[in-house]
Chain A
Amino acid sequence: MCARSNKAKRQYAGRDVVQSALFQRRRTSGIGITPLIDVVFILLLFFMLTSTFSHYQTLDLVNASAADSAIQPVEQVPPLLLVVSASMAISVGDSESKLTEGELQRLLSDSIVDGQIVLVSAGSGASVQDLVSVVEKLKSLGVERLDIVPSVQTRREEQS
């Protein structure tokens, strides 16, 4: 009786050892979380370093039809030259006086009626941002035939 119970105890103990070993094996053979984190970190670094969030647009600097007319002046109406100075101040041609908002609107409405080409030139102190803002303003006021020409200073240097 006693020998029988000892044998049964040994069998139970053996089963426990096998179960414990199986449990250990199952735990250790599962997919480790550390390699997963490694891969995710590498992916994160890749996307952080390569991706950009700036979405650019474009602004046409040369209107093809205006450029054609500027190269081959077939029209009798002389173009309207606007010079952009610092802080978006606009003057006509070589004139020193700056145009007010009302004067500019009147001038542009006349030039649109006459079919004039509006040429925009950079004056002293004007930044690229000023030039872009003025071009946009002119377009919003209805000017379609618009072209950007070299500054007065550059043209004088070329002539001399």
Chain B
Amino acid sequence: MNPLIETSRRSGFSIDDGMIPLINIVFLMLIFFMVAGKISQQDAAVFDAPVSGSQAPLVETDREILMAASGEVWINGEPLMVGFSDWLQANMADQESVDDQLWILKVDAGIEAQELDRLLVPLRESGIRRLSLTVRRSE
């Protein structure tokens, strides 16, 4: 027999008694993650959102463009393999009105602002007016 079990039986407490503090901690961690965390879809790439004092809440939309620190672009979680203008032309041709469409931009704070022109110019040319940049709250 396991000497630990034998000793614990003789001293009058079981192994389970020693596990209770561990279970307490695990339960507390579980409650913390359940209450404080928010389950949401992971971004296609890691990006550091610019800091802003804006209070406008993030609206869920199926039109999301992500530009990572490396300059790579993802659209709705898919990597962009062609030029952005070509992608817009191919995907916007069958859509009648783009006036009400909201596009969410997720851009890394560290990249050069001139890199934004790669996205802003084709979006403007295709008539999209509602454009929001994802920011994080200043601490």
Contact = CB atoms under 8 A, between A and B. Distances in A.
Interface stretch (A12-20, A92-100, A108-116, A122-130): A122-130
Interface residues of A, number: 44
B135 A58 contact: yes
B37 A128 contact: no
Contacts, number: 151
B58 A57 contact: yes
Give the interface size class of chain B.
35 or more
A127 B131 contact: no
A44 to B, nearest CB: 5
A40 interface: yes
A159 interface: no
Contact of A40 (B27, B40, B55, B108): B27
Interface string B44-77: 0000011111111111000000000000000000
Contacts of A58: 54, 56-59, 104, 132-135
A136 B33 contact: no
B6 interface: no
A61 B132 contact: yes
Given A59-B132, A127-B113, A128-B50, A33 B19 contact: yes
A144 B58 CA distance: 21
B29 A126 contact: no
B107 A67 contact: no
B55 to A, nearest CB: 6
Contacts of B114: 122, 124, 126, 151, 153-154
Interface of B: 16, 19, 22-23, 26-27, 29-30, 33-34, 36-40, 42, 49-59, 104-105, 107-117, 120-121, 129-137
Interface of A: 33, 36-37, 40-41, 43-44, 47-48, 50-62, 64, 67-68, 84, 122, 124-133, 136, 148, 150-151, 153-154, 158
11 contacts: A53-B38, A58-B59, A60-B131, A62-B131, A124-B114, A126-B112, A132-B51, A136-B53, A136-B54, A148-B116, A150-B121
